[in-house]
Structure formats: C-alpha cells, structure tokens
Chain A
Amino acid sequence: MVEKFLAGSAALFGDPITIAIFVFGVIGGMLFGAIPGVSMLTLAAILLPFTADLDPAQGVMLFAVIYCTGTYGGAITAILFNIPGAPENAPTAFDGYPMTRQGKSGKAVGAAVLCSAIGGVASALVMMAATEPLANWAIRNIGPPEIFALVFFGLAVASSVGGRTIWKGWMSVLLGLLIATIGQDPVGGINRYNFGFTDLAAGIAFVPAILGFFAVSEIFVQAEKKATGQYDAPKVGMSFPSVLELWAHKFAVVRSILVGFFCGILPGIGATLAAFMGYGEAVRWSKNKEEFGKGKLEGVISSETANNAATGAAMIPLLALGLPGGALTAMMVAVFQMHDLEPGPLVFYNSPELIWIVFAAMFYANLSILFIGLIETKTILYLLKIPFQFLAPLILLLATIGAYISRGLVLDVMVMFGAGIIGFLLRRTGYSIPGIVLGLILGKIGEQNFAQGMQMVHYDMITYFSRPICTILIIAGTLTLAAGVYRAFSSPKEAG
C-alpha cells in the first residue's frame, strides 16, 4: 500500500499541471464552501464540462479534492452566519452559530478546521488500506433493506434535533419526505404532484431547495431583525481552542470518525446523514444534553469530524461498486463517463494509477485543510465585520446563480426563494430546517430502497428482518422514535 501511495504522490506532484489542478481544487473547494450562498456543488457544476479536456486522473482528482475541502468550507458559513454551505454542515450550525453570537467564533472555526482535517485524514487512510475488502464486505452485506433501515434510523435521529418540540421535529422530517415525492416515482416513473407544471416532473431540485431553506431564509430572518430593531451584529472572536479543550473531546472525535465512515461507505447516504448521526450520538452520550444547541464545542467537533470522515468512505462505493454516495460523487461518475471509463471493480485493475493519484490527492487535500484552514481562518473571521446590509445582497445574488446554474432553469430560482419564505415562516414557528432538508435528501433514496427491498424479499417481513444489520438499524430507529413518543407525552415544558 505504501509503495502505491508513494507512486500516487509522485504522479500527483511530478506534473506541474496536476499540481496546479490540485491547488485549484483545494482553494476552490474551500472558497466556494466558505462563500455564503454558493457551495462546492456550484463550483463542481460549473467545472464539469471543462473536465472533458483534462486527463481522466486529473478530472476525478479535482472533484475528489473539491469534495474534501468543500465539505470543510461549508462549516465556516454555518458557524459565522447560520448558513450551512452544504446540508452536511447543518448540524455544525446548531452549536457553531450560538458560539459566534457569544464571541467564540474563533474557537468554533478552529475546532472545525482541526476536526475536519482529522476526520478526513483518518477516512483517507482507511480508504487507502481497505477499499477493496470493505467493498467486498459491502457487496455481501449491504443491500436495499439495510440502506432503507439506515435512512429510517437517520431520520429518527434527525427528528430529535432542531425542532422546538418533538412533534415539530417529526413534522419537519415528514414535510421533507413529502416534498421529495414530487416528481417521478422511483419504481414506475409515474409523475406525482406536478400540479400541471411539466418542469416539476423532474422533482424539486436539491440545490435550490437547500439554498432557499438555509441561506435565503437566514437572510429573511436577519432582515426581520433589522426591520424590528432587534438586529445584533455577531461578535468577532479570534481565540482558538486550546489543546486541552480539544483533547477533552477525543472520544467524540473517535466516535464521529466511526459514525462518519460507516455512513459514508453506504451508497446513497453520504456525509449529510453522517453529520446528523455524529451530532445525534454526541447528544445521546453526553451527560449535559441540555447544553447542546446553545454553543457547545462538542457539537461542532462531532458534526465536522463525522462529515469529513464520510468523504473518504464515500469514495469506496463509488470506486469499487460504481455507486455514488451523493450529488458530488454522482458528478464524479459523469467525469469517468466523459473519458469512456466506468467506475467499478475493474477500475482497480484497468487504471490503478488513477485510483492512487485520487487517493493521494484526497489525503493531501485533508492535510491542506489543517494548514490552509488555520491560515485563512483569521481572515475569514473578518467577514463578520462587514455590515449585513452589504453582505445580504451578495449572498442572495450568489444563491441565485448557484440555484440557476445546476439546471439552467429560472424555475429553480423561484423554488429557492419560495423555499426561503417557507423556511422563514417555519423557523419563526419552531420547526427544524435541517430536518426538512434531510427528509428531502433521503426521501427518494428511502423510497427506492424500500421498494427494492420489498421486491427482494417478496413482501415477506420475516425474511426482511432476518437480515441482522437491517434488524439492528430498524430496532435502533424504533427505539429512538419510542423515546421521542415517551418524551412527547411525559416531559414538562421548559419555557413559556
């Protein structure tokens, strides 16, 4: 493995053009991840046609690097502005933004930098060591019933965070699931809920919806505060977390790496569920649960470690099985196809040099997060000093471009602003925006895998539950829901 890694590193750093593409990917991913209103997906969508002119290894490597650094970059906007750069950074905002309000933005961003790097590097190392055996294990043990069970468990966990009550948490997730049913059904291709609009046959696009729910609704919330004189500019805090503070959360880091890696390895699940489950597990194991959501460093650490730990793992189903784990990895499939390649087991035998350049690039990209991230953090924190009336139009305009570019439809821009208004109203009444977004993302995946699983077992529930991983996840999800029901009927109110 070491020789292959060194050969991949030599190929990466032996060619000036490849180095330039690597550096562009690192900086571009961080920058687009950290600019409120656009995300790494925007950059990837713009760059996709240009990769046809690149060498296949360079093209895939560029997207892999953007994936690593963009996942970290989205944490910056989540912490500073309560606008997650991508859905996988949504749980980071739960505690990151309250820390910014308390003048601890430096600590939150510093922890995000370090933990993203740790999670990403750990994931890259496991990916290099175990892609083939893990892929073989996944082929044997993971099928549609297991993926559906994980989606069920993930949604059960997600409903327990973010809403003012457990009822609102569930309603948020169900609303997301309902929105995900718009468009063609994943089994028979029958149009559902298009309400006479042909453009809706393709469903609600994922990028405009998340931009609307996260970025636009936050702008509206701040606008309301400005209009009512309640606006309070966030404080800039430059102090980084101390080594002791970070060491105190070592178990949270290890737990989140495991959670992130497990979620990442499953096709279709990706970093978003990893972040929610990393955060949910941190809450579950904490002795001070009530401190989460009010500016607890462990919340940022758990979420950011888990989502970056999923990046390396997400490459395993992509490279070994040809199954993308999310939007960006799906674009990587397109890069492969542009060069007449198909990701899958044969890539390891036909193009080993490509695989190891990508592996090496992901390893170094995660290391770059640590060094470039620490350098850029101090500069980025000064974004908080820009008056919001000047930042808001920039964010709205970038979000408009981000929404439009993915499909070239003005309808998507309107969907984005519509989601912004709905998000604004739902936030004012205590619903969970991350819950809606997770429901939206996982809805189609859940339905598709449920249908395939049912067909596999011929609708026999005993066969369905004879699969151990599936059973464990369904039981875990059911227990999470049962605990929620118990709390819903027994716990007294906290505040009026």
Chain B
Amino acid sequence: MGQLTKAHLVEGAAWSLIVVVFFGYSFEFNQSIEIYKFGATGWPRVILLLLLVVTAGNFYYQFRHGSAIQKGRVGIAETDESETDYSDPATLLKVAGVLLTPFIFAYLLKPVGMYSGAPVFIALVIYLFGERRWKWILGITLLIYAILLGLFVVVLNAPLPQGNVSPFYDFSGFILKMNTNLQNLW
C-alpha cells in the first residue's frame, strides 16, 4: 500500500466518482452543433480525461510520498497543513453544527425571509462559535441586525427575501412599511 492511507483511498474514489458521474451524464447532452465540430460534449470530456489522468498522478504521488508537501510549492496557507483531531464526538458535533446551520438558514430563507431569520441565525452562529454570555449574544445580535437594516434596507433599498409564510411575511411587511415611512420623512 506504500504510503497510502484510508483518507487517500476515499479521496481518489471521490474524484474518480466525479469523473464517472460527469462522463455518464455527458451523454444526456451529446448533441452535435452544426457550426462547431466538437459539439457540446467535446470541451467537458477533455476536462474529464485530464482530470482522470491527474487524479491517477495524484494517487501515484500519495502512494510514494503520502500527504507530504511537494518541494518548491508556493502559496500554501499554514491552515491547509493542520491535522485536526476528531476523536472527541463533541468536537465533531460543534464543527458539524457550524457547517449545517448556514445551510438550514439558506433553506428557510424562502419561507421565513431575511428579516425574521437573520436575528436567530446571528445568535446561533455566535453561540456555535463558543460565546456563552447571553448579554453579549443579544447585544451583538441586535447590533449586526441594525447594521443589516441600516445599510441594506434604509440606505441601499436592497431587495431581500421577505418570506412567504405568515407571520414571517407580515413581519417583513412591517419592516418595509417602517422603512417607507422613514424614507418619506426625508
């Protein structure tokens, strides 16, 4: 197995899967274009072929040298090199929480909207980042929310998602009505 680890095998398999899935799906749009000899699939298939070759090269390198950094590489941030210990399930839960919370927020943007969802999201992220003083969580949440409303709603009139479920939609309407009243004062 040389210097290969389980992670390298998973990595190689993931890249190979990408190549296989994208190559397989390319038959869905395998149409000729009258004015272009290589058609719609020519360019992506060349990329996939190159990706397959390079994935094999990467696998060979990992077989020989493991995860070692190649000599002479530039522009590698030190964060890229860190090895994290996930033996403690609490650590895994914390990181998973941070990774998933924005996704849930994004998913709920359509029904809940930005105006109702943002304060909860802000407070949750602050909590997940380790802050436990509730006064600070509340204060910073209000401050960020005020910045959001001040800059994007009052100054720039940016169209933000309003939600489509009551009472969130009504709350967005209330904020926008307040903004209109404020703009009329000027």
Contact = CB atoms under 8 A, between A and B. Distances in A.
Contacts of A388: 129
Contacts of B61: 165, 167, 488
Nearest to A191: B29
Nearest to B15: A171
A94 B136 CA distance: 34
Interface string A80-96: 00100000000101110
A187 B36 contact: yes
Interface string A144-171: 0000000000000000111111111111
A496 B39 CA distance: 45
A10 interface: no
B72 A289 contact: yes
Contact of A221 (B79, B107, B144): B79
Contacts of A170: 50, 54, 57
A46 interface: yes
Interface in A168-218: 168-171, 174-175, 177-178, 181, 185, 187-188, 190-193, 195, 216
Contact of A389 (B22, B74, B102, B130): B130
Contacts of A450: 43
B35 A417 contact: no
Contacts of A293: 73-77
B152 A401 contact: yes
B110 to A, nearest CB: 5
A223 B84 contact: no
Contacts of B38: 451, 454
Interface in B127-175: 128-131, 136, 140-141, 144, 147-148, 152, 156, 158-161
A430 B129 contact: no
A397 B161 CA distance: 13
B78 A420 contact: no
Contacts of A454: 36-38
A494 interface: yes
B144 A494 contact: no
A91 B74 CA distance: 10
B55 interface: yes
Given A190-B33, A397-B122, A405-B158, A163 B54 contact: no
Contacts of A178: 18, 22, 44, 47-48, 51
Q: Which of B37, B68, B121, B129 counts the most chain A CB atoms within 10 A?
A: B129
A421 interface: yes
Interface string B84-111: 1100000100110011001101110110
Contact of B74 (A161, A168, A219, A224): A161
A188 B40 CA distance: 7
Contact of A224 (B77, B78, B84, B141): B84
Contact of B58 (A171, A394, A424, A487): A171
A47 B158 CA distance: 9
A352 B161 CA distance: 42
A491 B72 CA distance: 8
A84 to B, nearest CB: 12
A464 interface: no
Nearest to A451: B36
A336 interface: no
A468 interface: no
Nearest to A101: B78
A392 B129 contact: yes
B94 to A, nearest CB: 4
22 contacts: A94-B77, A95-B75, A97-B77, A161-B75, A164-B70, A167-B61, A171-B15, A174-B54, A181-B47, A188-B39, A191-B29, A221-B79, A283-B74, A293-B76, A390-B131, A400-B102, A400-B106, A413-B109, A427-B79, A427-B80, A493-B65, A494-B69
Interface of B: 7, 11, 15, 18, 22, 25-26, 29, 31, 33, 35-40, 43-44, 47-48, 50-51, 54-55, 57-58, 61, 65-82, 84-85, 91, 94-95, 98-99, 102-103, 105-107, 109-110, 114, 118, 121-122, 125-126, 128-131, 136, 140-141, 144, 147-148, 152, 156, 158-161
Task: List 3 A-B pairs, minimum CB-CB distance, nearest first.
Answer: A493-B68, A389-B129, A188-B33
Given A181-B43, A227-B94, 17 more contacts: A163-B73, A166-B70, A185-B29, A185-B33, A224-B84, A293-B76, A389-B130, A393-B125, A404-B160, A405-B158, A414-B103, A416-B106, A429-B7, A430-B67, A455-B36, A487-B71, A488-B61
Interface of A: 46-47, 82, 91, 93-95, 97-98, 101, 160-171, 174-175, 177-178, 181, 185, 187-188, 190-193, 195, 216, 219-221, 223-228, 230, 279, 283, 289-290, 292-293, 299, 387-390, 392-394, 396-397, 400-401, 404-405, 408, 410, 413-414, 416-418, 420-421, 424, 427-430, 432, 434, 447, 450-451, 454-455, 459, 487-488, 491-496
